Amino acid sequence: MSGGTHLENANPIIFQRTGERLLTATDEDENVHDPIDDREIFDILCLTINDPEHPLSLEELNVVEQVRVKVNDGESTVDIEFTPTIPHCSMATLIGLSIKVKLLRCLPSRFKIDVHITPGTHASEEAVNKQLADKERVAAALENSSLLEVVNQCLSIRSH
C-alpha cells in the first residue's frame, strides 16, 4: 500500500475471530462420512481471502459471518451473503467476485454457488448482485487479466 494513497476506510471495526475448528474423533475416523457444512465453507473463505484494503481476513472485518453461509450438501447448493464494511464500499464487487472464484476453485463442481450482498447493507446492492449472479459476466471478468490479477492477489495466502 503506497504511502500517499488514502484508504476508503482507514480504521474499520475489528471483530473477534472464531477459534480454529476443533478436531473431533469422528473427523479422524476413516469410516465416517463428514458432510460439507457451513463452517467448512466459512473456513475456506476466512482463512484464505484477504480484504483488498487491509491485511485482515474477511472474518475480522465481519464481511463474512458464519450465520450468513448456508450449505446444503444433499442438494448441492451454497448460499452466501456478505456485508461490505461501509455502504459505499467500491470494493464490494471485487470482494464478491473473489468469494465466487474461491468457491468455484474449492468446491466440487456439483455445487450451485450463489453469492450476494446482505440485504440493506450497500448502496448499489442490486447492481452488484446482478453482476455476481451473471455467469457470463463472471466468466468474462476472469478473462480480463488485470482483474484476474487483483482477484488472485486477494486469494494468495499471505506469506508470513
Does 84 bind another protein (CB under 8 A)? Our answer is no
Does 25 bind another protein (CB under 8 A)? Our answer is no
CA dist 37 and 35 (Å) reads 6
In this structure, which amino acid lies at residue 34? D
Cβ closer to another protein: 87 or 119? 87
Q: In the set 87, 90, 105, 112, which binds another protein (CB under 8 A)?
A: 105
- Give the dihedral of Cα atoms 106, 158, 87, 105; nearest 10 deg: -10
Cβ closer to another protein: 124 or 148? 148
- Pairing, β 64-72 against β 77-82: antiparallel
Does 125 bind another protein (CB under 8 A)? Our answer is no
If one counts every other C-beta atom within 10 angstroms of the C-beta of residue 137, the result is 13
Does 16 bind another protein (CB under 8 A)? Our answer is yes
Does 102 bind another protein (CB under 8 A)? Our answer is yes
Does 22 bind another protein (CB under 8 A)? Our answer is no
Close Cβ partners of 132 (under 8 Å, ≥ 6 residues apart) = 93, 96, 97, 100, 115, 116, 138
- Total site size for another protein, rule CB under 8 A: 45
Cβ closer to another protein: 95 or 129? 95
